[in-house]
Amino acid sequence: MRIFKYTYLVAVATLTLTSCGSVKNMAVPTMDTAVNITSAKKGTVTEEQSKHWAHADLATDTIPGMSLDKAYKFLEGKKGTTVIVGVIDSGIDIEHEDLKDVLWTNTKEIAGNGIDDDKNGFIDDIHGWNFLGGNGVAAPEQLEITRILAKMNPRFKGKTIDEISPEDKADFEKYQEYVKAYEASGSRYFTTLERLAQIEETINAVKKHTKKSTLTLEDLKAIETEDETLKGQVQGLITLFGRGLNEEEFYQYYETQKKNKNYDFDFDGRAIVGDNPEDINDNVYGNGNVIGSKDEESHGTHVSGIILATRNNGVGMNGVATNAKLMSVRAVPDGDERDKDVALAIRYAVDNGAKVINMSFGKNYSPNKEWVFDAIKYAEEHDVLLVHAAGNDNKDIDVKPNWPNDSEDKVVEYADNVLTVGAMSLNYDENLPAPFSNYGKTNVDVFAPGVQIYSTVPKNEYAKYNGTSMASPEVAGVAALVRSYYPQLSASQVKHIIMNSGTKIDMDVLVPGEKGKKANFSELSISGKVANAYNALVLADRMVNGK
C-alpha cells in the first residue's frame, strides 16, 4: 500500500459562542476556532485514509479536513429533515450505485408519457432537467471569448485602426483586447494540435517505409535505414512509444483534441438545443435526460458524490450530507456555460424546491451577466443558498474577472446568498492553499478541501480529482447538513455560520500563482478560514437553541 508522508501540527480549538434571541433575521456570531500551534507531529496518511481526508479532523487525526466524522458524532440522536440539493453541472450518472438511492424525484410528473403533468413547463423532468439538449450525447461548446470574437470578426477581422470609422473605434479597441485574450488562452491548445499533426505525419512516413498497417515499439526498433531523415523519425517514435504510448492510444488522444470546439469560431453549440441563446424569454428547450453521455460526464458525477453519495451503504464512499436529495440540472458543457442556461438552471432548481445549489463552474467573460444576477436575486428571495467554486486559474479574483459572482463591481454584494469557495490541500504547512486555486480577500468567502478528492465517477467507479470544483461541493454538503438539522435558519445565516465557524489558520502560506510569494492565510479570503462541519453545526445549534 502506498504511504503518503506529511508533517502536521496538532491544533487545539477553543469555542467561544454568544447566545442569541429569535432565529429569524438574527445576526450570526463569530466562532473563532483558532489553530493554536502547540507542538509538531509527523503523521502518515494511508491510501485508504487519503480517500476521505476531507472528512478528518486536524486536532484528532492530524489531517486538516472539515471535521465531518466529528460532526456526525455531534448529530447522534438528532433527527434532520430532507433537503433538496440542486447540482448545476455537466451530466450526472444518476444510475451510479452510490447516487441512485439519493435522487430527487418529481412525484408530480409521470415518467415517459411526454406530457408536462405538473405544468411547470418541463416535460418528464423526473430527476431534474437538461438545458444542453440531446439524448445520451456529450455537449461540446466554445469558450465565451471565442463566441464574442465570432460575433465581432465580420466587423473587424483583418482591419487596422485606420480602416475603422470613429463611431466603431471603441469597439475595435475592445476587439483587439479580445484577440489577445483568445490567443493567450488557446496558445497551448494550438501548439499541442500542431505537434500532434507532426507526430501523425511521422507515423505515416514510417508506415510507408515498413509497409505495415500499425506500428509497435518492436517494429520501430527493428527498422534499419541509411536515410537520416527516417532515422530521426524512427528514433522520435521509439522515444514516444518507449514512454508507454502506443499508436492506438495516440490516435484516441488526437481525435479527442480535434473534437475540442473551445476555439472553433464556426462551431454552433446550440444546433442540438434549438433555442436562441441570446433570448432569455426563449426558455422552452432541453429535455429530461440529465445523464448526458455516461462515458464522458464524470465532472458532475464526481461533484454530486462529494455532496451526497449514500452514507454507510457498504460501497464506495460517504458523501458529506445525509437527508439530502440530488436534483440534477445539466447546464455545463465541455466549454464555457451560457449565461442563459445558468440563469434558467438556477430558477429551475429554486422553483422545484432546492434549498442548496452547487455551482462548480465559471468563466472569464459574461456578456449576459444581468440574467444571472437576476436569477441569483430570485434564489435569495426564495431563501436558497448558492455555493460556487472560486475557479482554478490561481489568480486574485478581487482584481481579475471570474463569473458568475455576487458583486458586479467586486466590492458591493448585490445578494447575500452566494458562498464562494477556494481549494486547499492536505498539506498543513505553507502549501495549504491548492496551487491552482483562485483567491480574494473580498470575493472568496472560505476555503475547503479540493486536492485529490475521492468521489463517484460514471459506471459505478470512483476517482480522485483536483479543483475548486471539488471544494465547492464539500461546502455545499455542509450547508445541506446545517439546513437539514436546523431548517429554521435562513440561507444567509447558513452562509455566515459556515464562514464564521471555520477553522482559522494563522500561518504564512504560498500565494497561488505568485512564484514563492507568501501571505498570511487570512489574506486569501474574507473569513480567512477553512470550512468545518462540526463547528458549523455547533454554532447553528446554539443559535437555534440558545445554549
Any domain includes 448: yes
* Co-location of 349 and 469 in the same domain: yes
- The answer to whether the pTM exceeds 0.75 is yes
For the ranges 32-41, 181-190, 348-357, 512-521, the lowest mean pLDDT is seen at 32-41
* Co-location of 416 and 435 in the same domain: yes
* Co-location of 163 and 128 in the same domain: no
The CA distance from 326 to 85, in Å, is 5
Annotated catalytic residue, options 89, 98, 124, 541 = 89
* Residue 30 pLDDT: 67
**Tens digits of residue pLDDT in 245-277:** 889 999 999 998 999 999 999 999 999 999 999
* Co-location of 111 and 149 in the same domain: no
How would DSSP label each residue in 125-189? -SSEEETT--SS---B---HHHHHHHHHHHHHTT--GGGS-GGGHHHHHHHHHHHHHHHHHHHHH
Evaluate if residue 12 carries a pLDDT over 50: no
* Co-location of 386 and 487 in the same domain: yes
Any domain includes 286: yes
Any domain includes 214: yes
The CA distance from 259 to 334, in Å, is 10
| Residue ranges making up the domain that contains 304 | 82-138+279-491+506-532
Higher pLDDT, 364 or 292: 364
- 299 is known as an active-site residue: yes
Neighbours of 155 (CB within 10 A): 12
CATH number for 476: 3.40.50.200
Any domain includes 264: no
Confidence of residue 495 (pLDDT cuts 50, 70, 90): very high
- 61 is known as an active-site residue: no
Any domain includes 512: yes
* Co-location of 129 and 222 in the same domain: no
* Residue 158 pLDDT: 95
* Co-location of 106 and 204 in the same domain: no
Neighbours of 441 (CB within 10 A): 14
Residue that is written with C-alpha cell 495549504 in the block: 432
* Co-location of 173 and 158 in the same domain: yes
* Residue 9 pLDDT: 26
Give the three-class secondary structure for 419: strand
Does residue 404 have a cis bond before it (omega within 30 degrees)? yes
The CA distance from 8 to 15, in Å, is 22
- 57 is known as an active-site residue: no
**What value does the CA radius of gyration of the chain take, rounded to a whole number of Å?**
25
Q: What is the pairing mode between strands 453-457 and 446-449?
A: unpaired
* Co-location of 153 and 168 in the same domain: yes
Evaluate if residue 460 carries a pLDDT over 60: yes
Any domain includes 60: no
Annotated catalytic residue, options 127, 299, 302, 388 = 299
**Tens digits of residue pLDDT in 347-406:** 999 999 999 999 999 999 999 999 999 999 999 999 999 999 999 999 999 999 999 998
* Residue 474 pLDDT: 98
Helix (H) or strand (E) holding 210: helix 169-210
Annotated catalytic residue, options 293, 469, 490, 527 = 469
Residue that is last in its domain, among 258, 290, 305: 258
Give the three-class secondary structure for 318: coil
* Co-location of 363 and 253 in the same domain: no
* Residue 414 pLDDT: 87
Please give the share of the chain, as a percent, with pLDDT higher than 90.
Answer: 82
Any domain includes 208: yes
Confidence of residue 32 (pLDDT cuts 50, 70, 90): low
The count of domains in the chain is 2
Any domain includes 71: no
User: 349 and 476 in contact (C-beta within 8 Å)?
Assistant: no
Torsion 340-343-346-347 (CA) sign: negative
* Co-location of 295 and 430 in the same domain: yes
* Co-location of 119 and 173 in the same domain: no
Helix (H) or strand (E) holding 474: helix 468-485
Angular region, 515: left φ>0, alpha ψ -120 to 50, beta rest? left
